[in-house]
Amino acid sequence: MLEPYDLCIIGGGINGAGIARDAAGRGLRVILLEQNDFASGTSSASSKMIHGGLRYLEFYEFGLVRKSLAEREVLLKIAPQIVRILKFCIPHVNAPRPAWMVRLGLFLYDHLAKRRSIPGSAILNLAQTPLGAPLKNPDIQGMMYHDCWVDDARLVILNLLDAERKGAILRNYCKVVSLARADDLWRITVKPQMPPAPEITPEALSQPIPEMIHARAVVNATGPSVQSLLEDFKLLTPTTPRLTLVQGSHIIVPKLYDGDHAYFLQLPDRRVIFVFPYGPYTLCGTTEKPFDGDPRLMPQGVQASEEERAYLCTALNQFFKRQTSPQDIIADYCGVRPLFQDAHQDVSKISRDYHLEIYSNEPHTAPNPPPLLLSIFGGKITTYRVLAEEVMEKILKPQFPHIGPSWTAQAPLPVCPYPLEKNKNIDEFSDQEIRDMVTYFRTQEWAKCADDILTRRTKWGILASQSVRETISRMFNAS
């Protein structure tokens, strides 16, 4: 048997990537397995915000908001190449909440955690500011506050790059097909997967890993599939928590306004949607509806519905002069959020905080406790780093007392050698520059097909012209 890993992480989204980075940096021998591409699920289908969660205050989630607000400052410091401050305008028109309530929420938002880089909120007369110009009714009161924007999939990749530099083994398109206890270890059987692209050949799946690996501890960080994985391997217990799966869709439409600010829109049904600048387009989301599909089939098994597309267009048309119909939609994307289930029935009110659940069907008695299996229920992209830190400090440190101290709050994430974060129009790159970047993504960032580059390593699948997309696909297949 090969030397066992200290830690096997199943799931290559933001939580798995954050734990891999933290654990490898503390000296653990780590392997991470992802059955699709890294960040192919919820972690590339978010609203792309690092935020405290202003609307969570309405549900008294003060602890989560405080933790998230503090984390904004940390992520701005360690990842300024992909995290930036974003101004939000709240037009207060036909709002379901009184203005005093929104102002109180903004006051709390400003003061629940210490702000170092992020400006405070303000009251606006929208008729006297460019923020009101795109609105149907600009002669109204408004509020302004700041949160942060992030390229979500690249945040995953940068964490993985740092994890690999610190010794972690990372494998995408590698499915776990069995997980069972073998004395004081977990025995994990893995099977390489073919990326869903016609140009892929078996030879493209480089660096095959052993069919069987062993680990002293396992983290189930599979997001929406966390419960399904336990069920598949007969590891559910009567006390295992349950998830509520919530589908959230976003649409990308022709540009509704000029400027690099965003809008926070309150709808009559008390829902909130966000509107963001997105290159030459505008991004709008998100919906919230129960997801009743099979999480095992994601990401291919989840799509924005016509009802959701129409809902978001209607919401935009209530506020903006420039009207939008479903036929105008350039693209859409849809993700499934795994929310830790509680007593709430309204999916918009379920907590976005996380829960760490240790599998146990027998007592942990020294000196030979059973191998550790930790499952992560819930969570949000903003708190991925503190989640990883808590996993290390509270869960893994008792099992691995030799590990190093906390470190990720001070260590910058890697910077891509190509100007992805400078918003340079991809159509301005030369063929040689594109060829160099394709080679980089393939050899350094684990891209196994052109879609890995176009959809996750970059957003060129939407922001690049058709000819550039075809060039990237052709170059990838030829390399």
pLDDT of 55-112, one tens digit each?
Answer: 889 888 999 999 999 999 999 999 999 999 999 999 998 888 999 999 999 999 999 9
From residue 352, alpha-carbon distances to 52, 151, 375 in Å are: 11, 20, 16
Instruction: Tally the residues of the chain.
Output: 479
What does the pLDDT average to over 363-392? 85
CA 441 to chain centre: 20
Indicate whether 373 pLDDT > 90: yes
- Per residue in 24-56, pLDDT (tens digit) is 999 999 999 999 999 999 999 999 999 999 988
Whether the CB-CB separation of 47 and 111 falls below 8 Å is answered with no
- In three-state secondary structure terms, 237 is coil
How far, in Å, CA of 241 to CA of 375, rounded? 10
Residues 6+ apart with CB under 8 A from 35: 173, 174, 175, 176, 193
How far, in Å, CA of 464 to CA of 281, rounded? 12
Residues 6+ apart with CB under 8 A from 22: 385, 388, 389, 391, 392, 407, 408
Higher pLDDT, 300 or 135: 135
Indicate whether 343 pLDDT > 50: no
pLDDT of residue 214: 96
How far, in Å, CA of 194 to CA of 174, rounded? 9
Whether the CB-CB separation of 334 and 287 falls below 8 Å is answered with no
Confidence of residue 176 (pLDDT cuts 50, 70, 90): very high
pLDDT of residue 105: 95
How far, in Å, CA of 106 to CA of 129, rounded? 20
What does the pLDDT average to over 375-402? 95
What does the pLDDT average to over 184-194? 92
Exposed/middle/buried for 205, CB within 10 Å: 0-12, 13-18, 19+?
A: middle
Indicate whether 383 pLDDT > 90: yes
Q: Is 39 left (phi over 0), alpha (psi -120 to 50) or beta?
A: left
- Per residue in 420-445, pLDDT (tens digit) is 755 557 778 888 989 999 999 999 99
Q: What is the mean pLDDT of the chain?
A: 90
Amino acid at 190: V
Q: How many CA atoms lie within 13 A of 429 on its CB side?
A: 24
Q: How many CA atoms lie within 13 A of 402 on its CB side?
A: 5
Indicate whether 299 pLDDT > 80: no
pLDDT of residue 77: 97
- Per residue in 237-291, pLDDT (tens digit) is 888 888 889 999 999 999 999 999 999 999 999 999 999 999 899 999 999 988 8
What does the pLDDT average to over 169-189? 94
How far, in Å, CA of 424 to CA of 408, rounded? 29
Confidence of residue 121 (pLDDT cuts 50, 70, 90): very high
**DSSP 8-state symbol, 364:** -
Q: Of 49-58, 199-208, 259-268, 407-416, where does mean pLDDT reach its minimum?
A: 199-208
